Amino acid sequence: MKLLTALAALGGCLLALPALAQKTTSQGIDEYRAMLQDGNPAELFEAKGEDLWKQKRGPKNATLEKCDLGKGPGVVKGAFVELPRFFADTQKVQDLESRLLTCMASLQGFNADEIAKTPFGKGEQSNITALATWISAESKDMRFNLPQSHPSEKVFYEVGKRLFFQRAGSHDFSCASCHGEEGKRIRLQDLPLLTKNPGDGVGFAAWPAYRVSNGQMWGMQQRLNDCYRQQRFPYPGFASDATIALGVFLGVNAKGAASVAPAIKR
Amino acid sequence: MQTRRETLKHSAVVAGLLASTGLFPQFAHAAFNKAAFDAKTVQDALKAMGPATLAESKDVTITGPDIAENGAVVPLGANTTLPNVKQLLILVEKNPSVLVAMFNMSDSIDTAVSTRAKMGQSSDVYAVAITADGKAFFAKKEVKVTLGGCGG
Amino acid sequence: MADPMRIRAQASGDKATVRVLMSHEMESGQRKDANGKIIPAWFIQEVTALHNEKIVMTAEWGPAVAKNPFLQFSVKAAKAGDKITLLWKDNRGDTRKDEATVT
């Protein structure tokens, strides 16, 4: 017992010595999550996304290799950690998925409105998710550094902040209801505080992610969609200004955090 | 260029017939042991596989988490240091069908496999090694399954 | 034809650790759709692994293997440059074959 006390005092954390100390549920869950890191099914979507980038598709029979994700046409590495940002050609602040929509329309001739109306996981939406998965993987472990130099980028940050705290809907929820205070959780899910940098690989830095509970690959747009559903709000629409503004707020707050996307989640 | 079928016909390790599909060799038992996969208890699954005895053994290990956040994906591994092992099995006692997977060993691989299973509820999970002389040895552990909360 | 598998084969000493991710629904046959009808079981039933054209492992799977299955095993007497081949067949008769080189 003396040895155990001394060891515990050293680290200040529970040492999970089998048969001597009870492992906490939280540690058990951490171990479970660690076991899933190797062999993340997101890799299947990454491979698909990379193929889609290089494949001639759409009415114009063109690839996406000239798509500008913010760092110049065709530059994929590092692009993910600087999105959302302002784009001169569309004169809009755009996130990754809305930018993919722009490129699929302008380079490949797809109908952007139709794709925006397509449910997640179907048709071209699943292709956008695969592309987003691959593009995020190309920036894995890089640190978020969203630009805030253009006036629109600053405006979108402020709009995102207002939306984050806006309480509405039948339950009077806001994003802040779950993500506005330190140390909150729903059952076994820790809810990161998103008004500041929540740390490497957390929150904004963890999507796109493969969700084991339904075996689906989710991009940030679908993640925000589901948050709105849980708040009993109608979804603001795929690649809408509202969702992009929230992305700017979350992404700028996460400045310096390392991206782990594509991650694996419950 | 060789077709897949031709490539496999030239694979000579396993003496035995190619199954009717033309793709898979047959080991000691017929292709796809339906009875084993329909079994509702660990004992019945083993009976369908052949072995008459089932004994716990320190030389068999089942690896897995103590608690799985979601029963949809539970990493489980079976491994053994016993000699002359023909098959490794992974079973989940409380699943509607107990047998999750069955692996046929050869001299060319380690007697250790890992995969991920679906678990309907907290349950004991088993790793079973079946040796060439028809005996079965197991290890088991409890895996708790919980559904985490929404989101995340 | 089904989506490709991801196969990684890493040499370490005289063995190669093979890790595979397969793209498959692995529908258990236990779930019901919105109308209360059982969604039919659809799952990988047979798996074969080859090392340089030689069969080194076969497996039979039931519907309890998780969606987008992961498989890991170790091949003896393997070195960088060797070929690892994985094949699967599901209960509908669909098949998939992919190869990787040991690195």
Phi, psi for C72 (deg, rounded to 5):
-135, 135
B37, B42, B11, B44: which is closest to B25 by C-alpha?
A: B11
Across the interface, do A187 and B151 touch by the CB < 8 Å criterion?
no
The mean pLDDT value for B29-34 works out to: 63
Which residue has better confidence, A95 or B69? A95
CATH of C6-29+46-101, one of 3.20.20.370, 3.40.47.10, 2.60.40.10, 1.10.645.10: 2.60.40.10
Mean pLDDT of chain A: 91
Give the angle B103-B108-B109 at the CA atoms, nearest 5°: 50
Burial label for A91, CB within 10 Å (0-12, 13-18, 19+), is exposed
- CA of B72: which chain A residue's CA is closest? A213
Distance between CA atoms of residues A149 and B12, nearest Å: 66
| Cβ-Cβ contacts under 8 Å, C2 against chain A | none
Positive or negative: CA dihedral A253, A257, A260, A266: negative
| Rounded Cα–Cα distance for residues A220 and A244 (Å) | 10
CA distance A225 to A212: 18
| Mean pLDDT calculated for residue range C51-64 | 96
- Alpha carbon distance C103, C101 (integer Å): 6
Which pLDDT does position A29 carry in this prediction? 86
Segment B56-83, tens digit of pLDDT: 999 999 999 999 989 999 999 999 999 9
Question: Within a 10 A sphere around the Cβ of B141, how many other Cβ atoms?
Answer: 15
Q: Is A265 a residue whose pLDDT tops 80?
A: yes
Catalytic residue check, A67: no
As a whole number, mean pLDDT of residues A47-76 equals 98
Chain B residues with CB-CB distance to A266 below 8 A: 69-70, 148, 152
- Cα–Cα distance, C74 to C51 (Å, whole number): 11
- The Cα A221–Cα A98 span in angstroms is 9
Provide the pLDDT for residue B31: 59
B116–C70: do the CB atoms touch at under 8 Å?
Answer: yes
User: What pLDDT, on the 0 to 100 scale, is given for residue A57?
Assistant: 98
User: What's the pLDDT band for A20 if we cut at 50, 70, 90?
Assistant: very low
Instruction: Please check the confidence at residue A25 and state whether its pLDDT lies above 90.
Output: no
Percent of the residues in chain B that have a pLDDT greater than 70, as a whole number:
76
pLDDT at A1 over 60: no
pLDDT mean across residues, chain C: 95
Domain layout of chain B by residue ranges: 33-145
- Which of A13, A103, A175, A227 is an active site residue? A227
User: Which sequence spans correspond to the domains of chain C?
Assistant: 6-29+46-101
To the nearest whole percent, how much of chain A has pLDDT over 70? Answer: 92
State the DSSP H helix or E strand holding residue A32, giving kind and residue range, or none if neither: helix A25-37
Per-residue pLDDT band for A257 (boundaries 50, 70, 90) equals: very high
Q: How confident is the model at residue B13 (pLDDT cuts 50, 70, 90)?
A: very low
Res B27 pLDDT > 70 = no
* Rg, chain B, Cα only: 17
Average confidence (pLDDT) over A90-102: 98
- Both tokens of A83, joined, read 């999105």
Nearest to C50 by CA among B17, A38, B19, B24: B24
Report whether CATH 1.10.760.10 matches the domain A42-265. Answer: yes
Contact criterion met (CB < 8 Å) for A44 and C23: yes
- The residue-averaged pLDDT of A116-136 equals 97
In whole angstroms, give the CA distance from residue C47 to residue B24: 8
Give domain limits for chain A. Answer: 42-265
Taking the Cβ of residue B30 and every Cβ of chain C, the question of whether any pair is shorter than 8 Å is answered with no
B146: nearest CA in chain A? Answer: A188
Q: Which among B147, B13, B8, B140 is positioned nearest to B64, based on CA atoms? A: B140
Q: How close does chain A come to B94, measured CA to CA in Å?
A: 19
Judge if ipTM > 0.90: yes
pLDDT tens-digit map of C5-54: 999 999 999 999 999 999 999 999 888 888 999 999 999 999 999 999 99
pLDDT beyond 90 at A16: no
Lowest mean pLDDT among A58-72, A146-160, A245-259, B14-28: B14-28
- Interhelix angle for A123-137 vs A96-106, to 10°? 120
Top-level CATH class of B33-145? Answer: mainly beta
What is the per-residue pLDDT for A12? 40
In the predicted structure, residue B52 carries a pLDDT above the cut 80: no
> How far apart are alpha carbons C99 and C103 in whole angstroms?
13
User: Per residue, what are the HEC states of chain B?
Assistant: CCCHHHHHHCCCCCCCCECCCCCCECCCCCCCCHHHHHCCCHHHHHHHHCCCCEEECCCEEEECCCEECCCCCEEEEEEECCCCEEEEEEEECCCCCCEEEEEECCCCEEEEEEEEECCCCCEEEEEEEEECCCCEEEEEEEEEECCCCCCC
Calpha distance B63→B80 (Å, rounded): 11
Does the pLDDT at position B97 exceed 80? yes
